[in-house]
Every structure is written in structure tokens, then in C-alpha cells.
Amino acid sequence: MSQRVTSPEDVGRFYDQFTRFFEITWGDSIHVGYWPAGSQEGTIAEAQVRFTELMMSKLGVRAGEHLLDVGCGTGEPAVRLARTRSCQVTGVTISPKQAEAANQRAHDAGLSERVRFHRANAMALPFPDASFDVAWALESIFHMFDTGLALSELRRTLKPGGRALIADFIVAVPMSPEDEQFHREMMQTGPMHSVPDYQRLIREAGFELEETLDITANMMRTAVLTREALTSKREELRQAFGNELLGMLDATWAKASDLGQKHQGYAVFLVRKP
């Protein structure tokens, strides 16, 4: 069965339309939450902050370093990072609306001097070679139709010795081709990979892999709370999307989210450009 390829434009339209959905049901960032083993504490928004802070400490950005944020959303993680570390940030998103919202967030935080966001395609970055000291891609590469190209653009724009953190959904149990097609179209994903395949792609792109962290068990609660939010945030969602679209979301989100829970995991890769 031939699969339809998700284009960057598809992803841009998806986020132009649905960023509000994530703001209502999740919080300011568009990535999973993190719950320490055995804990069910906190809202999604609180668990997202735990996730961002964990990524910040894993990557260990130092004062004066310039970070590339690949797939920056509306800039919450980048602004949080820049508030606590005196670093510079350049972020890219394929969604024009997100780029605008992210720049507004940096402005509101008084950080627009050193935190800038652009609408650009991460598979064809508009930056010269060796522009950045450090980079992260928080839950963005799974949207890109050519993982290898996304990784080699990341490598190209990093300085030699530069570090990067990639946090992404991975395939735990493969889906049937029909389910994969449905999930791909609903979530606008590119091809997804098992941990060993992802590790191979990282090495093939010319990175040294320093650490792999499987945090599937720590993020699973995100889907449970998202389902609850579809009920508890009903009126806000209705106002934002109208009855018809909300009806469609009800039908398709549950199925896509079920597939995600059964088949996907989540991993964090720490890599270095030699």
C-alpha cells in the first residue's frame, strides 16, 4: 500500500489550525508531559514544564552559547531556557502563526534581543554551516518526511563538537499499513522509527550518539489527560473550533490517540557532531 507523504506545508497548515487545540487541552508547549516513575502528579501543563526542565538539564546549555531550536512551536521551551541560561536562541517552525506567536512570547518576556523565531523548513535550514553551538528538536522530527535530511541539516548547521538533543516519538510496536496511513494523515507525521533504526539514522547523518533515554513510561499519562481535557475543556474547544470540527475531532482523535498509545514510545537522544 503506497503511503501519502506528509509535506512541510501540510504540517504548517496543521499547526496554523490546531495550535489552539494544544493550548486549550495541554498548555503553552506542544510536547508530552513527564511523570517520574510511580507518580501521577500534576496537570499536563505542569508535567510539560518538568519535561522541558529535564531536557534543559540533559543538554546543559552554557552561558553565551547559541542554540538552534528545531520545530520551536510557540516558543515556550526556548523562552524558558533563555530565561534561566544567558544563551542566545534561534528557533524555526514551519507554521507562520507559530513563528509570530513565538516572537510575541519572546518580546513579552523581554528577551527579543537574544531569542528570535523564523518560519523556515528544518529540512532546508536557511543558515550557513556551523552556525550554532548547540541544538534541540523537541518532538518535531517525527513530522518530517525525510528523517535523514532533517538530521543532516541539524548536523550541518552545528559547529564541530556541537551537541544536540532530539526528543521524539518512536515506534514501539509497528502499526498495520492501514492504521499507519490513518495516523499519519491525522497527526501529519512522516515515517516513524524504532529506537535501533533511529540510532542508525543518527549515526548515518554523521553524529556520535552519546546517550539514549527511553521515557515511554514517563510520558504515557499525557494521552489519558488529553482525553479528559476533551471533556473538561469542551466549551472552550467548541468556541475555538465550532460543533462540526469538534465532532470530527471527537471521532478521529480517540482513534489516533489509541493507536499512538498502543504502538508508540518516546525516546531522547543526546548526540554530538564530531
Residue nearer to ligand SAH on the CB measure, 192 or 231: 192
In the chain, the amino acid numbered 179 is D
Strands (E), the chain: 66-70, 88-93, 115-119, 132-138, 158-171, 208-214, 264-272
Determine if 189 is a binding residue for ligand SAH (CB under 6 A): no
Question: From the CB of 153, what's the least distance to ligand SAH, in Å?
Answer: 9
Q: For residues 32-71, which are near ligand SAH according to CB under 6 A?
A: 71
In the chain, the amino acid numbered 21 is F
Determine if 103 is a binding residue for ligand SAH (CB under 6 A): no
In the chain, the amino acid numbered 223 is A
Residue nearer to ligand SAH on the CB measure, 168 or 180: 168
Determine if 154 is a binding residue for ligand SAH (CB under 6 A): no
Determine if 11 is a binding residue for ligand SAH (CB under 6 A): yes
User: SS3 of 222, please?
Assistant: helix
Total count of residues recorded for the chain: 274
Return d(Cα 7, Cα 23) in angstroms, integer: 24
Question: From the CB of 16, what's the least distance to ligand SAH, in Å?
Answer: 9
Residue from 29, 88, 189, 264 that binds ligand SAH (CB under 6 A)? 29
Q: Cell numbers at residue 140, please?
A: 518535531
Q: Cell numbers at residue 132, please?
A: 550554532
Q: Cell numbers at residue 236, please?
A: 472552550
Residue nearer to ligand SAH on the CB measure, 82 or 123: 123
Q: Cell numbers at residue 194, please?
A: 524504532
Question: From the CB of 80, what's the least distance to ligand SAH, in Å?
Answer: 10
Return d(Cα 120, Cα 247) in angstroms, integer: 32
Which segment (140-148, 169-177, 228-236, 253-261) binds ligand SAH by CB under 6 A?
A: 140-148
Residue from 25, 88, 90, 140 that binds ligand SAH (CB under 6 A)? 140
Determine if 95 is a binding residue for ligand SAH (CB under 6 A): yes
